[in-house]
Structure 1
Amino acid sequence: MQKICFVCHGNICRSPMAEFLFKRILEEHGRTEDFQVSSKATSSEEIYRGQGNPVYPPVREILEGLGIDCSKKRACQLQKEDYENYDYFIGMDERNRENMRRILGGDPNGKVSLLGDYTDHPHPIADPWYSGEFQACYEDILEGCRGLWEQIKEK
Structure 2
Amino acid sequence: MHRILFICHGNICRSPMAEYLLRHMVKVLGCAESFVIDSAATSTEEIGNPVHPGTRSKLQQQGVYCGAHRARQICPADYEAYDLLIGMDAANLRNMQRIFGKDPKTKLCRLLDFTARPGDIADPWYTGDFEETYEDILAGCRGLLRALGITKE
Shorter-chain TM-score tier: over 0.9
Q: Report the secondary structure of 1:80's partner residue.
A: coil
Residue 104 (1) aligns with residue 100 (2): yes
Give the conservation status (yes or no) of the 8 Å contact 1:9–1:96: yes
Residue 20 (1) aligns with residue 16 (2): no
In structure 1, which of residues 91, 113, 137 is the aligned counterpart of residue 87 of structure 2?
A: 91
Q: TM-score, normalised by structure 2?
A: 0.95
Name 1:142's counterpart in structure 2. 138
Structure 1 counterpart of 2:135, one-letter code: E
Q: How does 1:20-99 map to 2 (within 5 A)?
A: 20-47=20-47, 52-99=48-95
In structure 1, stretches of 5+ residues that fail to align are: none
Give the conservation status (yes or no) of the 8 Å contact 2:5–2:40: yes
The Cα shift of 1:100 comes to 0.6
Q: Partners of 2:121 and 2:75 in 1: how far apart?
A: 22
Query: Runs of 4+ in structure 1 displaced over 3 angstroms?
Result: none
Which string of whole-angstrom CA distances, capped at 9 and with x for unpartnered residues, describes residues 106-127 of structure 1? 2111000000111111121010
Name 1:152's counterpart in structure 2. 148
Give the conservation status (yes or no) of the 8 Å contact 2:42–2:96: yes
Name 1:8's counterpart in structure 2. 8
Structure 2 counterpart of 1:13, one-letter code: C
Q: Partners of 1:104 and 1:77 in 2: how far apart?
A: 12
Q: TM-score, normalised by structure 1?
A: 0.94
Which string of whole-angstrom CA distances, capped at 9 and with x for unpartnered residues, describes residues 3-25 of structure 1? 00000000000000000111111
Which string of whole-angstrom CA distances, capped at 9 and with x for unpartnered residues, describes residues 63-121 of structure 1? 11222232411101100111110000000000000111111122111000000111111
Q: Report the secondary structure of 1:113's partner residue.
A: strand
Q: Partners of 1:124 and 1:65 in 2: how far apart?
A: 24
Identity %: 52
Q: CA RMSD in A?
A: 1.0
